[in-house]
């Protein structure tokens, strides 16, 4: 039931403890600091459509745990994200700033500036212990959201296979880590602030089997994520950790699922992806529903206001302790396609019942009368001109965020996906660049990425080539097609494809960088060096370029220059485990095992789950420090259980150690599991060694 303005205002104030007598006209005196010193649990569920939540009218029973929070707290009926992408929206949640102010406009290309205060940094200064637990690489600490957190758990599995999707971990792992941290003994009984991010509803959809029956793949992921929210809440409730805790649950954005021709999110800003659930629950918060539109930028100031901490500097949001104005203009944007493909930039505002989308073919919707946003009223409604003016007022000041320093492996994967560059550099976008006219191309691109990830490389290549026939300036499609060709060993074809793109975009650093990689794969090291140097001069600051250049220099025998490039990379990002790993490989190839071991140790200290680095550390130590090599390879074996060369080497080294019986389980597993056709020559040695060790230990 939709409430009137007066009732909506009452529900905000009453829900936040502002009203003692229940009058809707009460200004909210007494709410600020009403939860001073309370714990804070912020849960963000990635890609959760508002209409999949029972509290928002869904009848499928997908979200009973979110629903019980909403029933006991405040539900914001019209909550919006300022951007339908994970990193920008979370930056707004944690800072109270719009993307125009924090400067992050898409995933992975930007990093939050070190000088921007965050919810965590303010809470930490206020005596809170702070922890964050994220489910996917797109929120890795390198993007700057880790500032202010005592614990920022972004530990994700390493996957060496070529892929176009983000590394992620299941919600069960995230909530287990969060619960353990929250319930650890706290020195001095400090209150805690925990942010828990569940990535599961994001594509590709792959919920555990028990959640799939009778549900679409997406709905199964929603049900699973909600169940894990319930698991965390039950654990904390049983430990009385929620007795004085403010709980905030929201989504970063939704999912189109075919609405307006888009299957996932990021291209458009219709309510399928822009509308989000937002519920608050805590001591002295009375149940209620707020009808006035609110934005992610309101979350941080509301939390800080309630727990009695200062709201830092000017923010774009407002504390919802005070009733929000129904007519407040709320800014949003969807700029990824503009940044990575040169398509028209999409910006707009929500104001009351109306939404305006600024594109070459502009759009205006009455979202109350037309919730599906199917009737564009831009040419026949007097709201159009005032909405245009309001958008200009809220989007004029732009802040720049620093470029992020990605590790080479991650940078290469994300560049192929199109997240880290690829603009066609159009100065003016026209109707042909409106994403509404290009949505079919966008879906074809995403389908090609999925086809490649599923092992259908030929099909993926055909789709990328079809896209390029229609839109030759689609740089991400060209670099992705080159990735497919390189993965299939068709290096010369990849070189030809990239050179064709450079005929019309000779200064495109993304194409130059990919061409450098392709030339290296094709064995043309001199050409690779020249091309990568040109990419760097063209403004490509991506570490992938420098990493490839170091490898090429090493191959050309220019070892001092290679070592200098690795040093440059590490000066830029000393916490890059992958760069330390690559430096270690370089030093190992240069026959400097001590220096290699030092580099591999740095990699494993930064990322204890980096199995390849542990494996390489053992190789660097084996000639001079057998016990150290055994220890490193034992670490590696736990992380790389199907790496049979490692298993063989570890078993054979242990067989000649002071405790040869330790070799038995490793050699027996090698004998049992290693592919016999591949390891035929090694099997006889393993069998003989096993027999010798067993005789000696009888």
Read off the pLDDT of residues 343-378 as tens digits, 9 standing for 90 and up: 999 999 999 999 999 999 999 999 999 999 999 999
> Domain boundary residue among 277, 306, 328?
328
CA–CA distances in Å: residue 14 to residues 66, 499, 548, 639: 21, 64, 59, 52
Say which residue the tokens 């290009």 belong to.
Answer: 438
pLDDT of residue 94: 98
**Domain shared by 433 and 557, yes or no:** yes
Whether residue 633 lies inside any domain: the answer is: no
Handedness of CA 359, 256, 132, 234 (dihedral sign): positive
Whether residue 667 lies inside any domain: the answer is: no
Q: What is the mean pLDDT of residues 231-254?
A: 96
Confidence label for 96 from pLDDT (cuts 50, 70 and 90):
very high
Encoded tokens for 606: 């930064």
Q: What is the mean pLDDT of residues 103-108?
A: 87
Average pLDDT along the chain: 87
105 touches 335 (CB < 8 A): yes
Q: Where are the beta strands (DSSP E) in 129-218?
A: 129-133, 151-153, 192-198
- Evaluate if residue 26 carries a pLDDT over 70: no
Encoded tokens for 571: 């000066």
Whether residue 61 lies inside any domain: the answer is: yes
- Evaluate if residue 14 carries a pLDDT over 60: no
pLDDT per residue as tens digits for the range 564-589 = 999 988 887 787 888 899 899 999 98
525 touches 556 (CB < 8 A): yes
Q: What is the pTM of this model?
A: 0.78
pLDDT per residue as tens digits for the range 471-524 = 998 888 999 999 999 999 999 999 999 999 998 887 788 899 999 999 999 999
- Sequence-distant (6+) residues with CB within 8 A of 592 are none
pLDDT of residue 187: 56
- Sequence-distant (6+) residues with CB within 8 A of 261 are 439, 440, 443
**Domain shared by 298 and 416, yes or no:** no
pLDDT of residue 166: 62
* 3-state secondary structure at position 146: coil
CA pair distance 197, 135, nearest whole angstrom = 6
Whether residue 338 lies inside any domain: the answer is: no
Encoded tokens for 581: 């790993």
114 φ, ψ (degrees, to nearest 5): -65, -20
**Domain shared by 309 and 419, yes or no:** no
Q: How many residues does the chain have?
A: 698
**Strands 245-251 vs 39-45: parallel, antiparallel or unpaired:** parallel
Q: Give the angle 144-305-282 at the CA atoms, nearest 5°.
A: 100
Confidence label for 186 from pLDDT (cuts 50, 70 and 90):
low
193 touches 645 (CB < 8 A): no
CA pair distance 271, 350, nearest whole angstrom = 10
| CATH number of the structural domain spanning residue 565 | 1.25.40.10
CA pair distance 227, 391, nearest whole angstrom = 39
| CATH number of the structural domain spanning residue 180 | 3.40.720.10
- Sequence-distant (6+) residues with CB within 8 A of 318 are 298, 301, 324, 328
- Evaluate if residue 145 carries a pLDDT over 90: yes
User: Which residues constitute the domain of residue 550?
Assistant: 405-575
Q: Which of 7-16, 393-402, 408-417 has the lowest mean pLDDT?
A: 7-16
- For 324-434, where are the alpha helices, taking DSSP H only? 336-341, 384-394, 408-417
**Domain shared by 322 and 193, yes or no:** yes
Handedness of CA 14, 19, 21, 27 (dihedral sign): negative
Q: What is the mean pLDDT of residues 452-466?
A: 94
Whether residue 44 lies inside any domain: the answer is: yes
**Domain shared by 432 and 556, yes or no:** yes
Q: Which of 15-29, 91-105, 462-476, 591-605 has the lowest mean pLDDT?
A: 15-29
pLDDT per residue as tens digits for the range 583-600 = 999 999 899 999 999 999
pLDDT of residue 158: 55
pLDDT per residue as tens digits for the range 295-352 = 999 999 999 999 999 999 899 999 999 888 899 999 999 999 998 888 999 999 999 9
CA pair distance 628, 597, nearest whole angstrom = 10
pLDDT of residue 578: 82
356 touches 364 (CB < 8 A): yes
Q: What is the mean pLDDT of residues 241-265?
A: 96
CA pair distance 337, 326, nearest whole angstrom = 31
Encoded tokens for 472: 């030759």
- Evaluate if residue 397 carries a pLDDT over 70: no
pLDDT of residue 573: 77
pLDDT of residue 161: 46
pLDDT of residue 426: 47
Whether residue 627 lies inside any domain: the answer is: no
Confidence label for 422 from pLDDT (cuts 50, 70 and 90):
very low
- Sequence-distant (6+) residues with CB within 8 A of 622 are 629, 649, 653
**Domain shared by 540 and 449, yes or no:** yes
- The 3-state DSSP composition of the chain as helix, strand, coil percent (nearest 5) reads 50, 10, 40
Q: What is the mean pLDDT of residues 605-627?
A: 93
Encoded tokens for 555: 């191959």
336 φ, ψ (degrees, to nearest 5): -60, -45
**Domain shared by 285 and 415, yes or no:** no
**Domain shared by 320 and 417, yes or no:** no
Of residues 450, 487, 480, 455, the one with CA closest to residue 466: 480
Q: What is the mean pLDDT of residues 77-98?
A: 97
pLDDT of residue 140: 84
- Kindly report the number of other CB atoms within 10 A of residue 64's CB atom: 13
CA pair distance 195, 510, nearest whole angstrom = 35
**Domain shared by 448 and 559, yes or no:** yes
pLDDT per residue as tens digits for the range 256-283 = 999 999 999 999 999 999 999 999 999 9
666 touches 654 (CB < 8 A): yes
**Domain shared by 223 and 136, yes or no:** yes
Of residues 15, 131, 31, the one with CA closest to residue 76: 15
Q: What is the total count of domains within the chain?
A: 2
Of residues 393, 422, 400, 554, the one with CA closest to residue 482: 422
> Domain boundary residue among 328, 362, 397?
328
Whether residue 504 lies inside any domain: the answer is: yes
Higher-pLDDT residue of 20 and 49 is 49
Higher-pLDDT residue of 575 and 463 is 463
Q: What is the mean pLDDT of residues 212-226?
A: 97
> Domain boundary residue among 301, 328, 355?
328
**Domain shared by 89 and 213, yes or no:** yes
Q: Which of 52-56, 225-229, 461-465, 679-683 has the lowest mean pLDDT?
A: 679-683
**Domain shared by 195 and 320, yes or no:** yes
Say which residue the tokens 């004998």 belong to.
Answer: 671
């Amino acid at each position: 039931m939709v409430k009137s303005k007066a009732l909506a205002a009452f529900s905000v104030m009453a829900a936040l403890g502002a009203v003692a007598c229940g009058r809707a006209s009460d200004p909210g005196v007494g709410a600020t600091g009403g939860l001073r010193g309370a714990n804070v649990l912020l849960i963000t569920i990635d890609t959760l459509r508002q209409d999949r939540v029972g509290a928002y009218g869904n009848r499928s029973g997908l979200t009973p745990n979110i629903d019980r929070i909403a029933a006991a707290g405040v539900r914001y009926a019209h909550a919006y994200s300022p951007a339908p992408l994970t990193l920008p929206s979370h930056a707004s949640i944690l800072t109270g700033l719009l993307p125009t102010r924090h400067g992050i406009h898409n995933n992975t290309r930007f990093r939050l500036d070190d000088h921007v205060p965050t919810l965590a940094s303010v809470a930490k200064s206020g005596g809170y212990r702070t922890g964050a637990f994220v489910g996917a690489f797109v929120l890795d600490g390198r993007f700057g959201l880790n500032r202010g957190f005592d614990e920022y758990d972004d530990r994700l599995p390493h996957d060496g296979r070529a892929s176009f999707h983000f590394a992620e971990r299941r919600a069960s792992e995230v909530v287990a880590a969060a619960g353990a941290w929250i319930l650890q003994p706290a020195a001095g009984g400090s209150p805690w602030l925990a942010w828990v991010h569940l990535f599961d509803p994001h594509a590709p959809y792959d919920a555990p089997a028990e959640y799939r029956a009778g549900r679409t793949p997406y709905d199964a992921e929603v049900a699973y994520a909600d169940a894990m929210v319930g698991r965390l809440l039950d654990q904390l409730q049983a430990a009385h950790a929620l007795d004085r805790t403010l709980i905030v649950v929201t989504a970063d954005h939704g999912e189109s699922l075919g609405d307006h021709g888009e299957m996932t999110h990021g291209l458009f800003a219709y309510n399928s992806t822009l509308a989000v659930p937002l519920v608050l629950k805590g001591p002295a918060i009375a149940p209620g529903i707020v009808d006035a539109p609110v934005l992610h930028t309101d979350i941080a100031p509301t939390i800080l206001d309630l727990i009695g901490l200062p709201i830092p500097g000017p923010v774009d949001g407002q504390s919802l302790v005070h009733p929000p104005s129904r007519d407040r203009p709320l800014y949003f944007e969807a700029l990824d396609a503009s940044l990575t493909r040169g398509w028209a930039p999409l910006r707009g505002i929500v104001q009351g019942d109306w939404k305006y989308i600024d594109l070459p073919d502009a759009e205006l919707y009455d979202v109350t009368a037309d919730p599906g946003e199917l009737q564009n009223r831009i040419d026949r409604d007097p709201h159009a001109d005032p909405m245009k003016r309001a958008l200009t007022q809220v989007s004029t000041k732009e802040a720049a965020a620093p470029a992020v320093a990605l590790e080479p492996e991650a940078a290469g994967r994300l560049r192929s996906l199109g997240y880290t560059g690829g603009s066609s550099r159009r100065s003016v976008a026209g109707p042909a660049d409106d994403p509404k006219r290009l949505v079919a191309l966008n879906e074809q691109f995403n389908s090609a990425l999925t086809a490649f990830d599923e092992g259908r490389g030929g099909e993926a290549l055909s789709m990328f080539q079809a896209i390029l026939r229609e839109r030759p300036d689609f740089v991400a499609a060209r670099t992705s097609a080159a990735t497919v060709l390189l993965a299939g060993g068709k290096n010369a074809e990849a070189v030809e494809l990239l050179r064709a793109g450079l005929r019309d975009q000779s200064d495109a650093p993304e194409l130059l960088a990919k061409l450098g990689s392709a030339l290296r794969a094709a064995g043309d090291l001199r050409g690779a060096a020249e091309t990568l140097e040109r990419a760097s001069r063209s403004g490509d600051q991506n570490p992938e370029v420098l990493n490839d250049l170091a490898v090429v220099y090493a191959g050309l025998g220019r070892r001092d220059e290679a070592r200098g490039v690795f040093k440059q990379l590490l000066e830029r990002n000393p916490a890059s485990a992958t760069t330390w790993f690559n430096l270690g490989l370089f030093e190992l190839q240069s026959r400097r095992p001590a220096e290699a071991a030092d580099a591999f140790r740095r990699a494993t200290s930064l990322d204890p789950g980096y199995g390849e680095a542990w494996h390489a550390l053992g190789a660097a130590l084996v000639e001079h420090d057998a016990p150290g090599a055994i220890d490193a390879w034992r670490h590696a074996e736990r992380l790389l259980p199907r790496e049979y060369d490692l298993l063989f080497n570890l078993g054979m080294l242990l067989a000649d150690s002071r405790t040869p019986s330790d070799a038995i389980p490793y050699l027996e597993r090698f004998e049992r599991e290693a592919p016999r056709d591949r390891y035929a020559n090694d099997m006889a040695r393993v069998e003989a060694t096993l027999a010798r060790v067993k005789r000696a230990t009888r």
